[in-house]
Each structure stands twice: as C-alpha cells, then as structure tokens.
Amino acid sequence: MRIVFAGNPEPAVTTLAALKENHTIVAVVTSEQKPQGRGRKQNKSPVAQYALEHMLPLIETPNINKDARLEQLEYDVGVVVAFGQMIGKTLLAKTRWMNVHYSLLPRWRGASPVQHALMYGDDVTGVTTFFLESELDAGPILAQATYVPSVQETGTSLMRELTDIGADLALQSLQVMEQGIASATGQAQEITYAPKLTQDDCRIEWSQSAVAIERRVRALFEKPTAFTTFRSKRLQLGPMVLAAESIEGQAGSIVELDDEIYVCTGSAPLRLGIVKPEGKSWMQAIAWWRGVQNKQNERFA
C-alpha cells in the first residue's frame, strides 16, 4: 500500500521501520521542531532523523492541515503514531487515516495513555489501531492487542513493549485493509482520558497513599520523571519499594534505617531506590542521603 506516515518521537520510528519494509512510504510527516540552545540549533525529531537516514520523502510542518505539500500526494492510507497534531476534516475526507494508540481504547484517550495505565494500576493494557475521526481518539476500532504489565513495569519499559506490539498490529491491520476485509467497530465502553502530563503531575505529594505514589513514580520513569523538593532543590525519583517496616512520621519525613532510606507517606512508608539531584547523575538513595550531611527531622516538600 502507498502510505503517508505521521509521527514524532522514538517509539513511532519502530512502526515506521516496519511499514518501510512492507509498503511504499509516499511521505513521512513530522512536526517542525523549535530551535533550542544558545545557538538556536534546529533539532529534528527521531522520525525526521530516521526518514533522512533512509532517504524517505520528508515533510516537516507546524500544521499538517495547512501544508500544501499534502494536497499533491496520492496515497491509500495515512498512518499516525504519536504525532501530536490533529488530522483535520479535509485530510480525513480525502482518504482513511489509521492511528496506532498505546492503550485499549476507549480507555485512556489522549496524549499519555502509557503513564496513566500504570498510575491507575491497570491489570491489562495494550495497543489499539483505529480509523481517525474529528473527535480525539474516538474513531472505530480495527484491532487490539493486550499486554499484562509486571509489578515492576515502568513507563519506559511499558512503552518499549507496546511499541513492538504496535508495529506488528499496524502491519496486521494494513493487511486486512489491503485484502478488503477490514471490519471496524465503534467504541462503546466507558471512556477515560489521559491528558498531556504537566510538571504538577510529576511533583510527588507525600500525603497520598504509598501505593499511589509508588505507581506514579514508576509510571513517570524515565520520562518525564517524578520529583520532590529537598532544601529548595529538585530531586528526581526512581522506582521505589512498598516497605514492610513499621516507621512513623509525618508525610515526607526521611528516615535512615539499616543502610536504606525510607519516606513516610499518607499510609505506609516507601523505600527509596535511585535518586537524581540537580546537576548530578542517578545514584543510590543512601549515597545521596549521606552526601548531603543529613540532619534529623528532615522532610521532602
């Protein structure tokens, strides 16, 4: 099939690579990146870099719906993976657009389904392919594949698993479309939303339960990463462990016990794993704690 592919981040590259091996890529569309750094260097998205390395036709655009280059293309289907731009009515009217979404729709429509599945303790998650409509992630479903996350699953590891599943599911969905036997069904179950994550979502509130905090920290690791504040400086947090030890203290209180560092929460204590102080690399919590010349009765803010 002749395909226009639209995507931005690294996970989208996996699907693009699979499509390149099995179909004709008419164009790769990616968002135009803003200049960064002192030299205002124009960076390119991982999808753009892949397209250039493999000599695929590339369109970098701030708005796919207003880019005249799309009007000149002849293609059978558009495929979208983590693109971040809505496909407008004009493009949708021209041909079908298929989205690869990393959740079991209609659960977790939106920008951060992987993190939300872990934050809310979903026993099962997965990938959905569906035809785009004008409403966000609301189109009829082509296919779904499930995945059961482990109790240690992080946002990074889950994204890695779903990325591979999504590439295979995209190929399967395109195959049934090419054969003319694709059957899409409407989304009829309870809808939940996973909006774009903010800095407030990443800041840990120690008054919450230990289970809620442990899930959030895993979900946000390694990107965008949960954090807390210690002595007015940001401290990024790696995965923690629900502790069996009986430790009393106010929420956010830091306790050293048997060469481990614990934090009190709104319920049970949590044992810290790795942490990342401002301007430093990841390190074991006990090494950080002893390096800051700790005092008694200190707390995370």
Split the chain (301 residues) into runs of 10 and give each run's mean pLDDT: 97 98 97 69 89 97 95 96 95 96 97 98 98 94 98 97 98 95 89 96 98 98 96 96 88 94 96 97 96 86 90
Instruction: Give burial (CB, 10 Å; 0-12/13-18/19+) of 33.
Output: middle
CATH of 2-194, one of 3.40.50.2000, 3.40.50.170, 3.50.50.60, 3.40.50.620: 3.40.50.170
Q: 186: Cβ–Cβ under 8 A, 6 or more apart, which residues?
A: 140, 141
- pLDDT value at position 32? 87
- pLDDT value at position 39? 57
If we measure between CA atoms, which residue out of 74, 146, 127, 102 comes closest to residue 9? 102
- pLDDT value at position 36? 63
- pLDDT value at position 31? 94
Q: Quote the CA–CA distance of 76 and 96 in Å, as a whole number.
A: 7
Q: What residue ranges of the chain are covered by domains with CATH 3.40.50.170? A: 2-194
- pLDDT value at position 41? 67
Task: Name the helix (H) or strand (E) containing 3.
Answer: strand 2-7
Residue type, 246: S
- pLDDT value at position 40? 56
If we measure between CA atoms, which residue out of 112, 128, 8, 130 comes closest to residue 58? 8
- What separation, in Å, do the N-terminal and C-terminal C-alpha atoms of the chain show? 55
CB atoms within 10 A of CB 179: 8
Q: Quote the CA–CA distance of 299 and 56 in Å, as a whole number.
A: 53
- pLDDT value at position 239? 98
Q: Judge if pTM exceeds 0.85.
A: yes
- pLDDT value at position 245? 80
- pLDDT value at position 37? 59
Residue type, 152: Q
- Continuous H helices in the chain: 10-22, 46-53, 89-94, 113-119, 155-178, 199-202, 210-220, 285-291
Backbone angles phi, psi at 169, to 5 degrees: -65, -35
- pLDDT value at position 35? 67
Tokens, residue 189: 């179950």
Residue type, 181: I
- pLDDT value at position 182? 85
CB 68 within 8 A of CB 35: no
Q: Quote the CA–CA distance of 178 and 76 in Å, as a whole number.
A: 9
Cα dihedral angle (119, 125, 131, 136), rounded to 10 degrees? -10
Instruction: Give burial (CB, 10 Å; 0-12/13-18/19+) of 63.
Output: exposed
Helices 46-53 and 10-22 pack at an angle, to 10 degrees, of 30
If we measure between CA atoms, which residue out of 193, 278, 290 comes closest to residue 237? 278
Q: Quote the CA–CA distance of 179 and 55 in Å, as a whole number.
A: 29
The superfamily CATH assigns to domain 199-291 is Formyl transferase, C-terminal domain (3.10.25.10)
Tokens, residue 102: 């990393």
